[in-house]
Every structure is written in structure tokens, then in C-alpha cells.
Amino acid sequence: MIDTLHVVFRVGATEYVIPASPVLGMESYDGATPVPGAPAYLAGVIQVRGRIVPVIDLRVRFGLPPIPHSLDTRVVVVEHGGRVVGLLVDRAREVIRLVREQLEQPPAIVTMESGGFVAAIANVGPRMVMLVDLPSLIGAEEKQQHVQ
């Protein structure tokens, strides 16, 4: 299903979008508490309105080198399958409207190289944005394994 409203965020030089419906909020970021033994892409845990939220560093998830966080750094807090997870991104400011027709299958090479994180691509005016696949991003499959 394609929601029309999408949140745009930037990781490295690329702009990504996710549907706005699972997004609970965007928080500024001043560091997370590292969790020893967690996957490398887990920046740590933060507290959002009393709740402990794991934060996935999308730079690491996407294989980019870490950079120091700035005033632009955001945690996009999403809810998926009963879990609440934060996505650490370089910047997140915009919400845009995307209609189904704008979305295209990503080129095979992108699909392969992205490790299944990119579900579709879209042209928004002069820009190209990538629609990320939230479940694979937050490791929903790993959860299944965990439960079993």
C-alpha cells in the first residue's frame, strides 16, 4: 500500500522516503546510550517520552562511514509490528506527497546492492528519492527468528 504522505530524510548524499503513517515523530539527537553486544548498526538506546527506543544508525546500516552528529541529525521514530524503533539520519525535514504512479521499480543493480532496503524509487521534480523498506531496515525478519 502506498500512503500519499511520505517523510523525506537524507543519509549521506541520498534522499530516502518512508510512508508517514508509521512515523511517530522526529526527535533531535544528542547521543544514545550504547548497548554492548547489540548489532553494530545499533547506535544505542534513547528515551522518548519515557519509553526506551533502540536507534538504528542508517549510515552504518547503509555502509557509510560514521560522521559526528550535528544540529541537523534526527531520529525518525517509527512503529512497526508493535515495535518502536528510531532511525538515525543525517537530516529529516520534509514531508512530501507521493502517488503510486510516481513510484518505479528500482533498477536491478540498486536492489542487489542495497541489500533489500530499497523498495522503490521515485522522481520528485528534479530529485530522485528512494523508498526504503521499513521491515528489512529494522530487522523485522530477525525478530521472527528471535521469537522462535
Binding another protein (rule: CB under 8 A), the pick from 67, 95, 112, 128 is 67
Minimum distance from residue 109 beta carbon to another protein (Å): 26
128 interacts with another protein by CB under 8 A = no
**Interface region with another protein, contact rule CB under 8 A, candidates 77-85, 92-100, 112-120, 128-136:** 77-85
**DSSP β-bridge partners for residue 17:** 8, 131
- Closer by beta carbon to another protein, 84 or else 110: 84
Minimum distance from residue 127 beta carbon to another protein (Å): 27
The Cα angle at residue 8 between residues 4 and 11, in degrees rounded to 5: 150
95 interacts with another protein by CB under 8 A = no
What are the Cα distances from residue 143, in Å, to 23, 24, 44, 80, 137? Answer: 20, 20, 17, 11, 12
3-state secondary structure 17-63: EEECCCEEEEEECCCCECCCCCCCCEEEEEEECCEEEEEEEHHHHCC
Which residues here bind another protein, judged by CB under 8 A? 1, 21, 31-47, 50-52, 54, 56-57, 60, 66-69, 80-85, 138-139, 142-143, 146-147
